[in-house]
Amino acid sequence: MNQIQASLAESPSRLFSSALEVGLIEVNRAEGGIAEALGRLIDLSDSIALAEALRALARRSPKMEAQPVGDTDAVAHFMNVRGEILAAVASSFAADDTAPFLLPRADRDTLHDPQTGYSPFQRFYQLHQSEMERQIAGLRHFLRQTLAARSPRLAQLASLDKVVAEPLAEHTRRLLAGLPRGLGKRFAALRDDYLQSCPEAEVGDVDRWLEPGGWLQRFITEMQNLLLAELDFRLLPALGLLEAMEEEESPKR
C-alpha cells in the first residue's frame, strides 16, 4: 500500500494548496492549515461531549467481534472504494452516459449572470461531495468491523473511531461545504476576465470557452483537481484505520 500511502500523506496540504491556488481561501499561515481550521470549528459543547464519550470508552473493555467481516481483504476493499469514486468523478467530467450525474452543459446563459451560470456547477460539486461522504462512511464502518475482529487493541481503536466520527462529521462537512461556495467566486472572476479581454463578436462562442486555455475549461479543470484533493482528504481517517491494522499484523522485530 506504499503508493496510496504516499499519495494520501500529502492530501491535507494538497487540498489546502488547491483551494489557495484558485483563491478559495485566504489564510494567515501562522494560524495553521486544514487540521487547525477544523479544530477551531469544534465548539465547547462538542468538546465536552467528545471528552465524556472518550472517558466512557476508556472504562469499557474492548469488545471483539466473533468473526471477521467476510473474506474481503481490507486493503483491497479500501482501494476498490477509492477506485470507484475516482472512476465516477472521471466519467462525470467526461460526459459518460453511465455516470450517475454529468458535468453541466454550458450555453449562452452560463455567461450572462455569474450566480445563475455557476449554480449547476455548484450542484454538480455538491452531488459528488454527498456521494463521497456516503461511500467513505460505509468504508469506515467496514474497517471498524474488520479491526474489531482482529485483536483487543484494534477493537479499542475501532470503538474510538466510532466515538469521534459522529461529532467530527458535521464539522468536517461544514468545513468542506465552503469549497463549492467558494468556487463560485473563482467562476465569476474567470468569467469577468474573459468578458474584458474577448472581442465582442466572440463572447458567445461556447466552443471557444471549452478549448484548452478557455476560461470555462480552465475552471472545470480546477474544479476537478479540487474535488480529487478533497477525496483524498476525506479518506485520511479510513487510511489511519488501515495503517493501524497493518502495523498490528506486521512481524515484530
What is the DSSP secondary structure assignment for residue 102, as one 8-state letter?
-
Measured distance CA(71)–CA(139) in Å, rounded: 15
Map out the domains of the chain as residue ranges: 2-249
Measured distance CA(232)–CA(5) in Å, rounded: 10
pLDDT at 173: 85
Measured distance CA(104)–CA(180) in Å, rounded: 15
Q: State the helix-helix crossing angle for 215-234 and 11-21, rounded to 10 degrees.
A: 150
C-alpha cell at position 202: 466572440
Digitized pLDDT (tens) for each residue of the chain, 253 residues in all: 544 445 455 555 566 566 656 655 544 444 444 445 445 544 545 554 555 555 555 555 555 454 444 446 899 999 999 999 999 999 999 987 788 889 999 888 888 888 889 999 999 999 999 999 999 999 999 999 999 988 888 898 888 888 878 777 877 888 888 899 889 999 999 999 988 888 776 777 888 899 999 999 999 999 999 999 899 889 988 988 988 888 877 765 4
Q: What SS3 state is found at 186?
A: helix
Q: Is the pTM of this model over 0.85?
A: no
- Residue 213: which region, alpha, beta or left (left: phi > 0; alpha: psi -120 to 50)? left
